[in-house]
Structure 1
């Protein structure tokens, strides 16, 4: 008999429980990748909304002294961003999105715990696809109203809050605390992967038709919303088949019992539906004992099951030890991260004198460093068992790196690439750790006595507070950059220092 191929032996070593965990890990990774993919285009398109018209005029004059000066602000920029206060207008668009995101996030976690995650997340992704496409249609239909773009950004910020509490709750339901830092560090790389893909997709069309830089990502996130509706399972379930219907039931709602029939013991499950008890022929989709059982309904004895714990209140979540400290730490850490997210391509364009596409491509190195930093933070925190200490050390190292990054553009492309990678790792490492492993730890804190329904609310509070910083950072960058980019980096270093001070209280 021919030996079994090693690849087949490897695949067969995983049971169905592990396969479904891997599927949920991969699906939620792709779902949130599409969220960040749809957020990134605005940072790539900024340099196209307002071009350096004076440089084009000089080029035109040098090439032909007989031709008039053709390049005016109105011709090379997109109204209403063709004026001298364009940085403030671009900052206002960032602020509109992020402020709406911050406000909506506090409500999203509370709503998400009371609705089916699959439907809630699907709705948010479809709506996000719609509003992302609307921004791009502003180019197609030559819309020059600032109010239109602000409205689209606010609406998109609100609907995108459905994403993070939903996927973190889902992944937290499927994976326990063992190696949570490593697992979520790898999983959280979807943020950087989405930023990279968003940069590449937006950069492909930015110079020829920047409307497609939004429309294509909008279609992608809408398509992923349909996939979410078709395939997402938010926690381990049994697939139960009764005489008249079938449904998914959480493991926690099933009571396992044994029934004797003709001298043989058989396993059965009962499930409480309202005030009545339903008994099912049961086939476990993800059986804990790796076996499938089926028992005739008429042989089953009704057994009561425990009631499901209620969702936690907002104030109840705030009383969990560590929630306030880590929320404030994330406020300043996310301020730094999102300032880079929204302004790095424009900074590279102005300081390195690159076009929009090359600057967008180069900015992806910051996110590559963020992937490594997030995984490294998770591994170290697992080994040490100290999430707060890991964050504090990375924040301490980030401050001098930020100062070095502000000086490095003078030394050429090579040092800039290296500094982008290091800076991305140290800036995004603490941000990634707090929003994933720390949020999951606090959402399943021992003080909750097993009530896992707090996870969505805790995640929303932490990320919502962080999103306040994410809203403030790009807005301040828009104001300070008019006085020189050095002022922006001083602001980032101050925010990093404040994150370190607040995070030290959680150690």
Structure 2
């Protein structure tokens, strides 16, 4: 057995590649689903920790001023501000940690790196819940716990994307990762259901069971995760037939439009970065990874896409609780459960975006299409979502699918494509670094969105939705160069086909 293989995999070494790929998809799916599930309790308990709505307040700010309920220090007129700052503590540390963990994931044993991060995440998630039983009302305590939890969770994404990309080739990567990336929404749904159900026993239990789930999956990761086929003596079919460098020499390397600038040359794309001699076994540098074609533009796009997605992740239950649906204010538990409809839509959106991008061979065009369609969906949800429960559910589902589609596509298939492009000559150890840069930049946006809502929501929810729509437009604009490149590539292919016939 290879030295880095997990201790419980000896009897599986002779199993088929398909079986191993199924095991890897399952383990990594539940690994990241558990991490996302542990992020839901803070959003679910917001309406419990924060100020209770007032029937007499004529504006959101009046509601906060007239409220006496909640959990100090999150109640009162500064309650929503502090809840937003708590989100900032987690997401900013997560974003900072992401930039470092990508490099560590390229240089350390991914199995140990991922499982260690999950066990620490479980510890700090449960520690937040202890605030309920120990009657802790120190804002500093909750901030420190969230910061430590954010750093711990930053180990997850670069690790799971690298592992899955090691086991699957490019041809079906968009569809496979679109389906696989539903772990984000599935984790949100599981986290919302468990956290909402536990509220009647005390909000601390919402965090305890989320942390316990992460702990169990972390143990499974340590015991059963094989980070690449080579570790257990297997190889992908494409690697047996032709390695990436040989494919480039024979002119058979894949050329994706999103990886090429308008004036790019396929032969130039196959060369290493200028002044660099990149060894396929060496981790790529942080600055070199930023210079790769397409990385910066998709990172900026994800900054604003994730800002929108995480605003819904952290504030949707609070928004539903504080917005009357058909003239009725819903309970804490009902608002939390209802918010899962957004995540169900996210599952469909992620799969559709991956499938369409594979069919069109155009990741940027697919992403921009989803982003632009999400604008009218957001307007409709804000204007008509409160008219009836049916309208609320349908529009929430539609909004979730369109908002999460490009977010899911960029963090999976696009990141994997950019991290394995011909410009780095098949460098197998660049993927986690590129993934960390893209998702780390997105996580900065994710940190900014929720804290902004904590402040501007006191001026009314129309202001919040205006901020979200503006962010979507900026995200779409950032991909204009990539869209032009893909259109040029498609035009060239059509001309070549016409010439051939």
Question: Normalization by structure 1: what TM-score?
Answer: 0.80
1:196-235 aligned at under 5 Å gives the runs: 196-235=189-228
- 2:312 is equivalent to residue 319 of structure 1: no
Counterpart of 1:502 in structure 2 is 478
- 2:478 is equivalent to residue 485 of structure 1: no
1:32-181 aligned at under 5 Å gives the runs: 32-52=32-52, 54-55=54-55, 76-181=69-174
Q: Structure 2: which 5+ runs fail to align?
A: 1-13, 58-65, 241-278, 484-501
Counterpart of 2:17 in structure 1 is 17
Counterpart of 2:11 in structure 1 is none
The counterpart of 2:429, out of the listed 453, 456, 462, is 453
1:173-192 aligned at under 5 Å gives the runs: 173-192=166-185
Kindly indicate whether structure 1 or structure 2 has the higher relative contact order, using CA contacts under 8 Å at least 6 residues apart: 2
- 2:346 is equivalent to residue 345 of structure 1: no
The counterpart of 1:310, out of the listed 257, 266, 282, is 282
Question: Normalization by structure 2: what TM-score?
Answer: 0.81
2:200 is paired with a residue whose SS is coil
Cα distance in 2 for partners of 1:197, 1:238 equals 32
Contact 2:341/2:396 (<8 A) preserved: yes
1:206 is paired with a residue whose SS is helix
Counterpart of 2:334 in structure 1 is 358
Question: What CA deviation, in whole Å up to 9, does each residue of 1:2-34 have, x standing for no partner?
Answer: xxxxxxxxxxxx971110011101110010000
1:438-449 aligned at under 5 Å gives the runs: 438-449=414-425
State the shift of 1:505 in Å: 2.0
Superposed CA RMSD in Å reads 2.0
State the shift of 1:410 in Å: 3.4
Counterpart of 1:11 in structure 2 is none
1:236-255 aligned at under 5 Å gives the runs: 236-237=229-230, 239=232
1:312 is paired with a residue whose SS is coil
State the shift of 1:404 in Å: 1.3
Contact 2:280/2:429 (<8 A) preserved: no
- 2:309 is equivalent to residue 333 of structure 1: no
State the shift of 1:205 in Å: 1.2
> Residues 172, 342 of structure 1: CA spacing in aligned structure 2 closer, same or farther, 3 A cutoff?
same
Cα distance in 2 for partners of 1:143, 1:188 equals 36
Contact 2:385/2:395 (<8 A) preserved: no
Cα distance in 2 for partners of 1:481, 1:384 equals 39
State the shift of 1:55 in Å: 4.9
State the shift of 1:309 in Å: 2.0
Counterpart of 1:291 in structure 2 is none
2:107 is paired with a residue whose SS is coil
Cα distance in 1 for partners of 2:203, 2:405 equals 31
Larger Rg: 1
2:306 is paired with a residue whose SS is helix
Contact 2:280/2:428 (<8 A) preserved: no
Counterpart of 2:370 in structure 1 is 394
Q: Structure 1: which 5+ runs fail to align?
A: 1-13, 58-71, 240-248, 257-306
- 2:451 is equivalent to residue 475 of structure 1: yes
Q: Aligned pair count? A: 418
2:406 is paired with a residue whose SS is helix
- 2:414 is equivalent to residue 421 of structure 1: no
Cα distance in 1 for partners of 2:231, 2:286 equals 31
Counterpart of 1:297 in structure 2 is none
